[in-house]
Structure 1
Amino acid sequence: MESTELMYNLFPKEEARTEKPPRYMSKFRTSVVQEKKSHLDAMRTMGPAKVEVPSPEKYLMKHSKPQLPENVPKYSRVTGGTLRKPDVPKKTDNPVMGIHTNKDFVKTNVLENTTAVARKPPPIYADTKRGDKQLLEKSGLVPKYIKKKDYGETPEYLQQRKEETRRTQEQYDDYVKQRMKQGAMKQLSDQERQTLLQGLKKNWEELHHQYQGLSVVIDTTPKKNRKERLESAMKQLENDINLIERYKTIYIANN
């Protein structure tokens, strides 16, 4: 008496297709690549890119150093170019004199400190007897979520799911009503349902009695086949009984 027709199979299901968003491409990609390539080209050698090759006659003597040409610009790792910052002044250089200012640093510092707003310490809490402190905001004790505009409202996806369930149930009810008007389906009454349920349980008890009477040692093929047939029939009856007990409203086809 199990019906293979389900309400979810009566309507076509739409396949949910998720479109993958396009990959993010920065508008500065080309400039970054060119800048990186230029830096790599500038640092390909351990020294200047073009240096005059010394002749074999002018070999280096002991305790001598190679002399680089003066017109070759030096590369700076800080600025990323060929310009260098000015050198540190030597101890023999005289500092720049004659620079004066009318600013009173003492009064300015006093004024800034007296008019400054005191910094408020962040709220904390102690979670151990030794006084270990933690930030209160990250503890979950601050009621910051109840101040949101959508606090306490049903999420939109739950509302959509509820509306789809209601619409599907209405369509199924309309379909059942139309089929019942056409005479193709009829609803089982409570008495018929109970009678059918008692009959199924009685059949299961008979099969179970036969199953209990099987031999303990199953050493032949007919015994094995009979045991498998009884188990399959009992399993089918158990599924039918669970189906009828689960649903109180059951429709069957007249044909």
Structure 2
Amino acid sequence: MSVVEIIHHDEVIYTILDKPPPEPPKTPRYESKLEKELKEAKRPQLRRTFGYAETPLKPPTQFLKKGEGIGQPIKETDHKCYVSGNLPPVPKRPPPGKKQEKPTTNFRLINIKKATKTKGKPVEPRLVDTRDGHIKKIKGSGEVPEYCLRPDFGQMPAYLTKRNRRIQKAIEKMKYAEDNKESLCKLISAEDRQKLLDDLKHNWSLMQKAFLQLPMLTDTIPKILRKTKLEAELRQLEKDIALVESNPYIYIYE
């Protein structure tokens, strides 16, 4: 059995344990340079109040006098006028003895001639319909016939005349087109007829080959339908071939 000798009695348990790791240093806080400059440039405004309790009035002697108001500012420009030696000469003043001659026209005589030649204003016909002298104009009153005396009374209006003229031109144009219309029936040449016959026979041979390749047993509906369709097309092709062969002249309509 071992014996532990304790010499120093100032030991503490907290000093024996391992110390926790130190905390990492914090990143420096962002500080605006402009804020510092503004704080340094800011001047303290002392004795700031809410204003006067009552607005002080000016004495009557301090009224606004003429020329003391706020006027428009004078515009200052950098323009400078440089005088050169190439300016035109100053016009000379006319001599004081000569005056401008007045016209010798006799305006009185001209006015008299105009007055004698002018015609008087025609008197508008009026109607007095009461004993008190009430006057009303005859024109537009309905007492005298006016509408039937107009120069265009009983004539066809201009818009109807234009419309009838337009319709007549369209009818004449249609009639001219019908008279000079080419015939729709056209005779095809012998080469085109032979080519048509060859194409019909070629189609018949292709369809006959497809018909012969059909199965012998037609036990389903699709087979029956295909067979009947091919038979009908072959029959129609045979009719067309017989029609082209029997007619040497063939006309077509365009």
TM > 0.5 fold call: no
Normalised to the residue count of structure 2, the TM-score between the two structures is 0.29
- Max Rg structure: 2
Higher RCO (C-alpha 8 Å, min separation 6): 1
